[in-house]
């Protein structure tokens, strides 16, 4: 049994890599165990390839606008293999950069699946056993499909990234952010998309006004929605497959089916049984505010915990944890309030803080809401009807800004700076005291009254 390390990191995704690098910066001797591609979900089958596909769809949309505005261009379908070659080259460069940085930092990379033998011993696939005073579990999660007959006929978001063309007719099962993002990309790249959601609306937990408008935008773009849909079975049919629902309705025939029906923590094959490390009913490792499990010396970050499943959350948690363990910064904890996030829909939806609904539940009549609906300049020039909707949720007489919700062109890039401001506790008056940048969409935020 090797005892050469101060820290063993299990999983080389967003959280694991961030933790390994930061611990090494603080002088720790680190082993990183990762059987798959470096970068985990985000780099290989999540944020990065997803954003690449979103950008391709966006370029396609801009080509249409360009033609309307007088450019001598023909909107043409995307040649997926060409685009995918660019996408994968970009991802390959990220892998290469990680490899160099791991070498430079002196981190031992072991390309192996890892499992606990006991709470302080990790076993590699070849039988090698490692021990260290500190262990970080960052094994992420995986997509799950509904347990219905024929589910194997569909794919999940991982499979989507293997596609080399847009299917003619696609069914997407799910109503969360991955379903909405994939629907937007596929529709923009030429598929006929139908979304089958169990709930009465899309994007539970996002602001209602914005999700209503986004749903309408998608409908206008040609996406069909089936809400309250209870999938009972998927069956092969001539030319494709059909979805059967609990109310006996049967869908039309689709060429392809994607499930975006949730994700589960990667703990099943981690050997936690003999360790005493506590998990919840869905298999997430339970951690406290310091990302410590109930077993001393064992920590967890990222999607394997119940923290918000976002790359920057996993990274921020891992860096702070390492600052505490190896950098002497005992008070360096992650504040999980007011985490901004962007849904890469078409147009994008960006959000930070409380939705109007949550604010009203918390502050009652003390809530003041400001909205701005407008057509971004490019859409107005090209006479495209799609409008943006920006919304501020404020509380109290001082109108403290507790929520910023943006749907529209460039919302993804606008929000970050305003998220800083919200976190600093700004009021509506602070926004009004800031001179607008004209002509932009962002100026609407400081002009709302
Ligand atoms: C389609 C999609 C789109 C997304 N888009 C965004 C986005 O736009 N923005 C955003 O912030 N987040 C996005 N996310 C979420 C983001 O990818 C995750 O929150 C993030 O990757 C979590 O990081 P992690 O380190 O917890 O896990 P992961 O990145 O999943 O890494 C876990 C790693 O652990 C390894 N592993 C698992 N078990 C073991 C084991 N037993 N031994 C050793 N290694 C193991 C895995 O191989 C994997 O590499 C998206 C996710 C998906 C699925």
Position in ligand 1 atom list of the atom nearest CA 13: 31
Nearest residue (by CA) to ligand 1, atom 10, is: 310
Ligand 1 pocket check: which of 37, 123, 139 to mutate, most ligand atoms within 8 Å of Cβ?
139
Instruction: Please report the pLDDT score of residue 4 as a whole number.
Output: 85
Residue ranges in 106-192 assigned as alpha helix (H): 157-160, 177-188
What would the pLDDT profile of 317-350 be if each residue is shown by its tens digit? 999 999 999 999 988 899 999 999 999 999 999 9
pLDDT tens-digit readout, 78-119? 999 999 999 999 999 999 999 999 999 999 999 999 999 999
- Which residues have a catalytic role annotated? 438
* Atom 3 of ligand 1: nearest residue by CA position: 46
Which phi and psi (to 5°) does residue 311 adopt?
-55, -50
pLDDT at 3 over 70: no
What distance in angstroms lies between residue 128's CA and the mean position of ligand 1's atoms?
A: 25
Q: Is 353 helix (H, G, I), strand (E, B) or coil?
A: strand
Predicted TM-score of the model (pTM): 0.96
Q: What percent of the chain has pLDDT over 90?
A: 97
Nearest residue to 137 (alpha-carbon basis) of 12, 294, 43: 12
What is the per-residue pLDDT for 75? 82
CA distance 351 to 346: 15
Q: Which residues line ligand 1 (CB under 6 A)?
A: 10-16, 33-36, 40-42, 46-47, 50, 113-114, 138-140, 157, 178, 266, 270, 302-304, 309-312, 314
Candidates 40, 95, 179: which one to mutate for ligand 1, based on the most atoms within 8 Å of Cβ?
40
The 10s digit of each residue's pLDDT in 386-419 is 999 999 999 999 999 999 999 999 999 999 999 9
If pLDDT is split at 50, 70 and 90, which confidence band does 76 have? confident
Ligand 1 test: best mutation among 94, 311, 319, most atoms within 8 Å of CB? 311
pLDDT, one tens digit per residue, over 203-254 is 999 999 999 999 999 999 999 999 999 999 999 999 999 999 999 999 999 9
CA distance 233 to 236: 10
- Joined together, the tokens standing for residue 441 give 């969409």
pLDDT at position 2: 57
Q: Report percent pLDDT > 70 for the chain.
A: 99
Three-class HEC string of 7-21: EEEECCCHHHHHHHH
Q: With residue 257 as reference, give the H or E element that holds it.
A: strand 256-259
Q: Are strands 7-10 and 134-137 parallel, antiparallel or unpaired?
A: parallel
Average pLDDT, integer, range 17-37: 98
Residue 342 to residues 151, 314, 347: CA-CA distances in angstroms?
29, 16, 11
How far apart, in whole angstroms, are the C-alpha atoms of residue 19 and residue 84? 30
Nearest CA to ligand 1 atom 7: 47
Length in residues, the chain: 449
């Amino acid at each position: 049994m090797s005892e050469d390390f101060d820290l063993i990191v299990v999983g080389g995704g967003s959280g694991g890599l961030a933790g390994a690098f930061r611990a090494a910066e603080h002088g720790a001797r680190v082993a990183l165990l990762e059987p798959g591609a470096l970068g985990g979900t985000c780099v290989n089958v999540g944020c990065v390839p997803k954003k690449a596909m979103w950008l391709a769809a966006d370029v396609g949309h801009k080509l249409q606008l360009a033609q309307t505005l007088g450019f001598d261009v023909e909107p043409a379908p995307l040649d997926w293999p060409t685009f995918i070659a660019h996408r994968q080259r970009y991802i390959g460069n990220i892998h290469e950069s990680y490899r160099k940085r791991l070498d430079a930092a002196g981190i031992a990379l072991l390309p192996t699946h890892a499992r606990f033998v006991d709470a302080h011993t990790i076993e590699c696939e070849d039988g090698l056993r490692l021990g260290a005073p500190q262990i970080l579990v960052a094994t992420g999660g995986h997509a799950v499909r509904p347990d219905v007959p024929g589910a194997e006929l569909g794919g999940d978001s991982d499979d989507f990234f293997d596609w080399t063309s847009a299917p003619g007719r696609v069914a997407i099962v799910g109503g969360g952010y991955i379903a909405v993002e994939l629907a937007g990309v596929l529709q923009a790249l030429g598929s006929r998309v139908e979304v089958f959601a169990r709930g009465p609306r899309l994007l539970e937990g996002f602001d209602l006004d914005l999700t209503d408008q986004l749903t309408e935008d998608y409908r206008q773009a040609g996406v069909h929605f089936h809400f309250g849909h209870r999938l009972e079975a998927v069956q092969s049919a001539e030319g494709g497959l059909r979805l059967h629902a609990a109310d006996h309705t049967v869908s039309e025939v689709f060429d392809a089916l994607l499930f975006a029906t949730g994700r589960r923590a990667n703990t099943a094959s981690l050997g936690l049984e003999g360790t005493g490390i506590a998990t919840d009913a869905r298999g997430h490792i339970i951690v406290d505010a310091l990302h410590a499990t109930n077993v001393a010396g064992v920590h967890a970050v990222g999607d394997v915990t119940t923290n918000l499943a976002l790359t920057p959350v996993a990274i921020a948690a891992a860096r702070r944890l390492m600052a505490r363990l190896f950098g002497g910064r005992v008070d360096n904890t992650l504040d999980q309030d007011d985490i901004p996030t962007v849904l890469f829909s078409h147009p994008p939806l960006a959000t930070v803080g409380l939705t109007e609904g949550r604010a009203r539940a918390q502050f009652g009549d003390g809530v003041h809401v400001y909205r701005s609906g407008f057509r971004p300049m490019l859409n107005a020039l090209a006479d495209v009807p799609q409008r943006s909707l920006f919304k501020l949720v404020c509380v109290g007489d001082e109108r403290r800004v507790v929520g910023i919700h943006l749907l529209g062109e460039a919302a993804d890039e606008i929000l970050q700076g305003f998220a800083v401001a919200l976190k600093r506790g700004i009021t509506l008056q602070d926004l009004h005291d800031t001179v607008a940048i004209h002509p932009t969409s962002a100026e609407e935020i400081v002009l709302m009254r």
